[in-house]
Structure 1
């Protein structure tokens, strides 16, 4: 009887542990933002666009700016789209910057903060995608002042996805 009880106890413990770890996937630790760009960003309706391996997602605070680098290749069309948790606001800023010269090639502020941009490139180069979340965060201020502060995850933290799609540039003319 005691052996049967022990087996059931172990089974219940194992089941409870797995359910507890499953329910924690919505937490901001670990992998909450993993694959966010695949699950939340809208892909192009053009069937020739393919998702680029440089697509990524990250956890952001209000007021934070961050950038990621990738190479664009001559003879390709690119589509960059952003998606984000609603807690971060109704719009976010992003720029495409030449990594070598630091020249701003595109700024979505000039297009009413559009979340998508398509372009053709005639030159292979490294670019930076710089994302800025508007607003202020006491957490960011505390980081610079070395203060200890609590962060309200439901009000200041959210995922941002950068979906990069590419295709070979179609031939122009006849």
Structure 2
């Protein structure tokens, strides 16, 4: 019983450390490779990043305020960047922008009224069924400037 408890505790500590390490690596990747894409926009100060595997998707709800111009940039590791795409939807789930159609990782826009938008990022399956699934850091950066 004691041996099982020690093993379980050690496993929990190891998994927590691995998750923290992956998060720190993604944060460093974002600082080094992505922040410059905001150019003359001011970053909103939020870090929205994670390691994503092919076949996964994630949705972020973000508030955008009237009177500002925005740049949204989805930055990802090269191993998954070719297949990754993102969509922006309003509260009615109407697609406002899709990088699938525009083949762009950046979207510049303004909103007429303050609203919450849904940012969905997807990494489709890449046909690597017999291999390990590809993965990489994905970060959603939001910058703004007064218009």
Q: What is the TM-score normalised by the length of structure 1? A: 0.63
Larger Rg: 1
Partner residue, 1:23: none
Please list every run of at least 4 consecutive aligned residues from structure 1 whose deviation after the TM superposition is greater than 3 angstroms: 136-139
Structure 2 residue corresponding to 1:156, chosen from 130, 134, 138: 134
Unmatched runs of 5 consecutive residues or more in structure 1: 1-26, 140-150, 170-174
Provide Cα deviations, 1:95-120, integer angstroms capped at 9, x if missing partner.
1111x211111111221x20111011
CA distance in 1, matches of 2:53, 2:60: 16
Residue 118 (structure 2) aligns with: 128
Structure 1 counterpart of 2:88: 96
**Structure 2: runs of 5+ lacking an equivalent:** 1-16
Partner of 2:44 in structure 1?
A: 52
Deviations 1:65-92 (A, max 9, x none): 1111110000011101111112224241
The DSSP-based 3-state class of the residue aligned with 2:92 is: coil
- String of CA shifts for 1:40-81, please: whole Å, max 9, x gaps: 2133332xx111134411110102111111100000111011
2:18 and 2:89 mapped to 1: Cα distance? 29
Report what 1:147 is aligned to.
Answer: none
Distance verdict in 2 for CA 1:159–1:168, change over 3 Å? same
| Residue 40, structure 1, aligned to residue 33, structure 2 | yes
Alignment partner, residue 101 of structure 2:
110
